[in-house]
Structure 1
Amino acid sequence: MSTSTSPTFLITAASGNIGKHLIPLLLSQPSNPSVVLPTSNAERLYSTLPSTADRSRINVVEGNIQDPEFVEQTLKTHSVTGVFLCLTGDNELFTTLNFFDAIKQSGCVKHVVYLSACGDFSIGAIQRGVLQDIGAAHVAIKFMAEAKLYHGVRPRSENGGFSWTIIAPTLFFSNDLRCKQALLDHSFFDEPLGSKGVSRVDTGDIALGVAKTLIDDGQRWGGKKVMIGSLERYTNQDVATLWSKALGKQIRAQMSDEVNLKTYEKESASKASAAWGRDLRLMYETFESQGFGMTEEEYQEQVKLLGKEPESYEKFVEDTAKEWSGPAVPSKS
């Protein structure tokens, strides 16, 4: 069991898009935190860690985070003081609520940073009818998780209580990487982002927000939800235009009408499952009907947390297109 006065953070999804940025950020902090990384495949996780990382402060623990006894024991064994919860999958509701209970039972965790999604998921918003247009299960579960944090967690001063911060990103830049073959081979951006526009976010900015709120330990950012992403919202046509310019050829955009969304659902189901195909279609229907983004006030709150403006989506597209194109071939004189 750790006897260090430095914080110890348990990080879920450590090898994911956010985790690969987050681990180096945490290990670089002057407070010298240790990290506990639960995983179902320790060998694979070790292979993703930076070669320069201080392995003495990294504890990789093999097990199933859907098992609350494993989670509780891991928290106790390593005297974990802070937790980053980045959860998804078919059992997200069970896993999230069981994780909250394991944190409570451990008695050592003081602060939790929960990854949610951009938007107002409050009781007031529900009463105003926001759920009428939310059908995607992986989005709807965030309402219950946030309600549990806001209304069902004891104060940190009480036994089993903890403080918390919600980090709420918009749509990842890196989602575009899944469209690579469609863009290069068929001049087609095949994600149906809709005509209302969606905010985009760099996973490095999400990781920065998570790192800062873990280190903050609930002092300034406790009890707050911080949106992370661009103020500008990009429609399907906006994104196609950006990729057209970056790749030097005309890119078509995926439409979000009923026929195209049903086709997208079938294609997604063939790659994952029927349940996830429907879930994604429902999410994109919401994008088409409502858009997806934040207010100016929420954007500025993000800037305060990050200490900078968020990364540029336009630059991501330009840089990615250059990377895909490879080095220029010098012309023969």
Structure 2
Amino acid sequence: MTILVTGSTGTIGTQVLAFLDGRGVAVRALTRSPETAQFPAGVDAVKGDLSDIDSVRAALDGVTTLFLLAPNAPDELTQAMLTLDAARAAGVKGIVYLSVFKGEAYTDVPHFASKVTVERMIHAAGLPVTILRPAYFIQNDLRQKDALLGASVYAMPIGDKGISMVDIRDIGEAAANEILRRERAEAPLPHATFELVGPDALTAATISALWSDVLGRPIGYAGSDLDGLEQRLKAFGPAWLAYDMRLMMRRYQQDGAVATDAEIGRFTTLLGHAPRSYRDFAEDAAAAWAAA
């Protein structure tokens, strides 16, 4: 009885491992660099990469439950589909797949479209999978520190339609809950899907007002300039990814990504508590920035 966690050293993978820690299960973490990876005690670091299918097959040996997080990469779709098929061939009992909120609507955003295609494979093959669809990560806004503290502006061009951002800790906890539910079941469980969303519909106006309150000084909105966003993102990653993120933000501006009360309610049930609010994050971030 072993759980395999992919994306184990990333933003979400580390949260999943933290919430699995101490839960009485054997955990294996796939990583390109097991010699340097820092995991909770008892986690078995296994060398591998989703782009290397032979390493994936080896890592799946003896695994009963898989957490699948495919990276934002040009071949994300191929990596995810091959891993799912390898898991099926290995006889994995349960899978938890990290997809994306509003993926079925944002068909012109490449990494959204890839995840929706993977969902189609899951349904067509009848795989025993929980699909988790997280919204935009709240903690992405830690990158707003310099703009907020230095220029007194919120610089992410989210527009005025609203986004139900989600805390990464809630994503990790929800994923761990579903992993454990499937791992502890005597037989494969039916398919399930959850929207992982925050309780707030955040807009340029509401988020600027919130930061003004938390920081105790006026915070403005830097505007909805997508050209500037793309150029900033190119400084930290490849051009194709910057363009992909630009397309995502364009759809946020055009259509928003606001959760329904029913979606928030189902997520609350999965977590066992209300999803964390953006204000909770902002107050914690402001306190940490002040202490530093």
TM-score range, shorter chain: over 0.9
Deviation sequence 1:30-89 (CA, Å, 0-9, x none): xx211111111113312xx24xx3x2xx2101222211111011111xx10001111122
Shift of 1:277: 1.6
Q: Is contact 2:50–2:70 with CA below 8 Å preserved after alignment?
A: no
- 1:172 maps to 137
Q: Is contact 2:3–2:66 with CA below 8 Å preserved after alignment?
A: yes
Would you say 1:62 and 2:55 are equivalent positions? Answer: no
Aligned residue among 93, 96, 102 for 1:110: 93
Q: Which segments of 5 or more consecutive residues in structure 2 lack a partner in the other structure? A: none
Shift of 1:139: 1.1
Q: Is contact 1:196–1:289 with CA below 8 Å preserved after alignment?
A: yes
Aligned residue among 4, 16, 27 for 1:10: 4
Would you say 1:254 and 2:222 are equivalent positions? Answer: yes
Cα distance in 1 for residues equivalent to 2:147 and 2:36: 29
Shift of 1:239: 1.2
SS of match in other structure, 2:130: strand
- 2:17 maps to 23
Q: How many residues align?
A: 288
- Identity over aligned residues, as a percent? 31
Comparing 230-239 with 20-29, greater Cα deviation is found at 20-29
Would you say 1:73 and 2:67 are equivalent positions? Answer: no
Shift of 1:221: 7.0
Q: Is contact 2:138–2:166 with CA below 8 Å preserved after alignment?
A: yes
Question: Higher Cα Rg: structure 1 or 2?
Answer: 1
SS of match in other structure, 2:223: coil
Matches within 5 A, 1:1-333: 7-29=1-23, 32-46=24-38, 49-50=39-40, 53=41, 55=42, 58-76=43-61, 79-90=62-73, 91-107=75-91, 109-119=92-102, 121=104, 130-131=105-106, 134-151=107-124, 153-154=125-126, 162-217=127-182, 222-256=190-224, 260-326=225-291
Cα distance in 2 for residues equivalent to 1:293 and 1:145: 23
| Partner amino acid, structure 1, of 2:99 | S
Shift of 1:226: 0.4
Shift of 1:18: 2.0
Shift of 1:113: 0.2
Cα distance in 2 for residues equivalent to 1:188 and 1:119: 28
Cα distance in 2 for residues equivalent to 1:164 and 1:183: 40
Distance 1:27 1:267, change over 3 A: closer
Cα distance in 1 for residues equivalent to 2:152 and 2:255: 27
Higher relative contact order (CA 8 A, sep 6+): 2
Distance 1:198 1:221, change over 3 A: farther
Distance 1:120 1:95, change over 3 A: closer
Q: Is contact 1:69–1:102 with CA below 8 Å preserved after alignment?
A: no
SS of match in other structure, 2:160: coil
Shift of 1:120: 6.4
Shift of 1:272: 1.2
Q: Which segments of 5 or more consecutive residues in structure 1 lack a partner in the other structure? A: 1-6, 122-129, 155-161, 328-333
Deviation sequence 1:120-160 (CA, Å, 0-9, x none): 63xxxxxxxx35xx322111111101111111x24xxxxxx
SS of match in other structure, 1:148: helix
Cα distance in 2 for residues equivalent to 1:261 and 1:192: 7
Cα distance in 2 for residues equivalent to 1:242 and 1:44: 39
Q: Is contact 1:231–1:293 with CA below 8 Å preserved after alignment?
A: no
| Partner amino acid, structure 1, of 2:110 | A
Deviation sequence 1:166-220 (CA, Å, 0-9, x none): 1111111110111111211111221111110100111111111111111111869
Q: Is contact 1:117–1:167 with CA below 8 Å preserved after alignment?
A: yes
Cα distance in 1 for residues equivalent to 2:242 and 2:28: 33
Cα distance in 2 for residues equivalent to 1:271 and 1:24: 27
| Partner amino acid, structure 1, of 2:122 | L
Q: Is contact 1:189–1:240 with CA below 8 Å preserved after alignment?
A: yes
